[in-house]
């Protein structure tokens, strides 16, 4: 196996953090987006959407989408369980994974892609109104999350999960998007600090 990886972008980072939590090492194949590697015929053959990461199996199968890659690794290496250990826990992890992916990470990405000047050549068309429309969505999700975390160490309960990984990369993406955690959200701030203190956060 080998992992085609484009560096510090949120989705490749999600997979690297997941692998670090599992203690699994997969050889990396750098994908230089600035150089246009993701648009090359070879990479497009792996993922016609031209996005990284992509896990290439030994038989040539290409698995794209970060959570799909993580699910595959979970099947091969069940412990520690990062998608839950029983039906109830797996459903709760999935619920919060989707809430954080679509309600937080995607909204932050919309602000970044449609408002940051450096993205003007990448996001065509860059629609400033859509970026602005997502600012309140980010804060709304953060406030819901803060209330939820008032009595929980991790977003899905007592155990660290894939949902926390998505939350970590989303919160770290606030700074490039020129956003911030509101000062009064103490529980989100505590959670973020806890996640950033894990060794896997450096992956």
- Total domains in the fold of the chain: 2
For residue 184, the domain's CATH number is 1.20.1050.10
The predicted model gives 9-14 an average pLDDT of 96
- Same domain for 30 and 104, yes or no, is no
Domain boundary among 76, 110, 137: 76
Owning domain of residue 196: 87-202
For the chain, give the mean pLDDT: 97
- Same domain for 66 and 138, yes or no, is no
- Same domain for 8 and 67, yes or no, is yes
Domain boundary among 41, 76, 111: 76
Sign of CA dihedral 68, 166, 158, 19: positive
Say what the pLDDT of residue 34 is.
86
Considering the domain boundaries, does residue 143 fall inside one? yes
Considering the domain boundaries, does residue 149 fall inside one? yes
Considering the domain boundaries, does residue 98 fall inside one? yes
- Same domain for 92 and 70, yes or no, is no
Q: With left for phi above 0 and alpha for psi between -120 and 50, is residue 146 left, alpha or beta?
A: alpha
User: What percent of the chain has a predicted confidence (pLDDT) above 70?
Assistant: 100
Domain boundary among 76, 110, 130: 76
> What digits encode the pLDDT tens for the residues 127-182?
999 999 999 999 999 999 999 999 999 999 999 999 999 999 999 999 999 999 99
Say what the pLDDT of residue 159 is.
96
For 89, residues 6+ apart whose C-beta sits below 8 A from its C-beta are: 156, 157, 159
Give the rounded distance of the alpha carbon of 75 from its chain centre: 19
Considering the domain boundaries, does residue 180 fall inside one? yes
Say what the pLDDT of residue 53 is.
98
């Amino acid at each position: 196996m080998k992992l085609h990886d484009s560096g510090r972008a949120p989705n490749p980072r999600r997979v690297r953090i997941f692998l670090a939590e599992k203690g699994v090492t997969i050889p990396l194949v750098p994908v230089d987006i600035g150089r246009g590697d993701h648009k090359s015929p070879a990479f497009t053959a792996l993922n016609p959407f031209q996005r990284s990461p992509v896990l290439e199996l030994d038989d040539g199968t290409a698995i794209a989408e970060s959570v799909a890659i993580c699910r595959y690794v979970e099947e091969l290496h069940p412990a520690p369980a990062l998608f839950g250990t029983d039906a109830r826990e797996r459903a709760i992890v999935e619920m919060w994974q989707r809430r954080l992916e679509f309600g937080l990470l995607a909204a932050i990405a919309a602000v970044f892609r449609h408002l940051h000047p450096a993205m003007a050549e990448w996001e065509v068309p860059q629609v400033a109104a859509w970026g602005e429309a997502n600012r309140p969505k980010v804060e709304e999700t953060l406030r819901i999350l803060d209330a939820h975390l008032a009595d929980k160490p991790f977003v899905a309960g007592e155990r660290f999960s894939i949902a926390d990984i998505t939350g970590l990369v989303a919160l770290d993406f606030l700074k490039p998007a020129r956003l911030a955690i509101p000062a009064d959200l103490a529980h989100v701030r505590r959670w973020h600090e806890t996640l950033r203190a894990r060794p896997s956060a450096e992956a």
